[in-house]
Structure 1
Amino acid sequence: MKKGLLVLGCAALLASCNNGSTTVGQKSAYVDTQKLMQEYEATKDVESKYKIKSDELGKELEADIASFQKEASSFQANAQAKGMAWAQQKGAELQKREQELSMKQQSIMQTLQMESGKEMDSIVKTVKATITDYGKKNGYDYIYGTEDASTVLYAKEEYNITDLIVKELNSKYKGTTAIKAADSKVENAE
């Protein structure tokens, strides 16, 4: 998410360049990109989707880990009774299984990060396009972004158009989700 916000901030900085010329009476505003991304419904939906997905996959992994731990405990109890050869063989099996569980956990995390990253990149593109369209439609010369690598160190609150952009993004997003819901109802009816 921070990567997307940083990209958004950099894009706003690049968009603010005007070949070094300055003109009196330029219209400018800024967007609090962190607030924008927190309040944008699409961002909330993606975060929720991947939290649920992470929880589901985590439960599967937790079950595997619990089974492994039970087997490891059993190994320790039986090691002396069953002899050195058995202990070495079983120990190697447990070590292999532990590595497999670790690789499975890493794979799950990488997959979730890749998938959510793609969706967040798409959201950032939508946000940038919406800000650009909003700026053009409303006659802005500059729209700056704020974030950790801030391009706005100070601005009067009256120049903050974050809420207007969030409202526009969410109204467009609600429209697309309503269309998707209607399409899925039609597909289910067929």
Structure 2
Amino acid sequence: MRKVPLFLAVFAVVVSGVALYFAHSGSELVYVDVNKLIEGYSRTKVAKADFEKKATLLKGNIDSLLGNWQKELQAYEKERGSLSANELKLKQELLSHKQEQINGYQEAIQKQIQEEDKKITQTVINDINDYVKEYGKDNGYKIIFGASGGGNIMYADESSDLTTAILKGLNAEYDKK
């Protein structure tokens, strides 16, 4: 009667050992440095350059409008003495209205630039996330952590860092397009 529980105990220890071995060998923890992926991704550089061109053009439009308004203001200051009270009031209202329009346009452009920047950043992040997901599936990883320098991964052995391999594959995939 005593042999049965001993046999079961030995069997349980062996099964536990095998289970721990497979659990340990199949759950290698790896991570990527998200900031390095974003900075090193070719699409980020292209998108940023396109965004800068668009933002510069939009800001140039604002500068042009402001320059024209300032010229009108200077002209008003010069002819101010020769205008009647009614003409002065009308000119001041016109200049004030133009300034309000320019301010409104400037705010709209700034909002548009911020939204465009957010949209481009999200597109890049989505590309990276999709690639990392496929990379993880293709290479049998159960989980890939993302380190961003914010303290979510305080220490990891460099052998657990997949950033370089993923960045290389991500850029190769983007260059094909």
**TM-score bracket relative to the smaller structure:** 0.7 to 0.9
In the TM superposition, residue 148 of structure 1 has moved relative to its aligned partner by 5.0
Query: What is the aligned partner in structure 2 of residue 51 from structure 1?
Result: 52
Q: Secondary structure at the match of 1:24?
A: helix
Query: What is the aligned partner in structure 2 of residue 111 from structure 1?
Result: 112
Query: What is the aligned partner in structure 1 of residue 124 from structure 2?
Result: 123
Q: Deviations over 1:2-34 (max 9, x none)?
A: xxxxxxxxxxxxxxxxxxxxx433212111111
Consecutive unaligned residues in structure 2, runs of 5 or more: 1-22
- The within-5 A match list for 1:83-98 is 83-98=84-99
Query: What is the aligned partner in structure 2 of residue 142 from structure 1?
Result: 143
Q: Deviations over 1:94-134 (max 9, x none)?
A: 11111111111122222233334333322222211111111
In the TM superposition, residue 140 of structure 1 has moved relative to its aligned partner by 1.8
Aligned length: 154
- The within-5 A match list for 1:24-103 is 24-25=24-25, 26-103=27-104
Distance 2:120 2:63 in 1: 27
Task: Kindly provide the amino acid, as one letter, of the partner of residue 58 in structure 2.
Answer: L
Distance 1:113 1:29 in 2: 34
What TM-score do the two structures reach when normalised by structure 1? 0.74
Residue identity over aligned pairs, in percent, reads 24
Consecutive unaligned residues in structure 1, runs of 5 or more: 1-22, 177-190
**Structure exhibiting the larger radius of gyration computed from Cα positions:** 2
* Aligned 8 A contact 1:27 1:139 in 2: no
Query: What is the aligned partner in structure 1 of residue 166 from structure 2?
Result: 165
What TM-score do the two structures reach when normalised by structure 2? 0.79
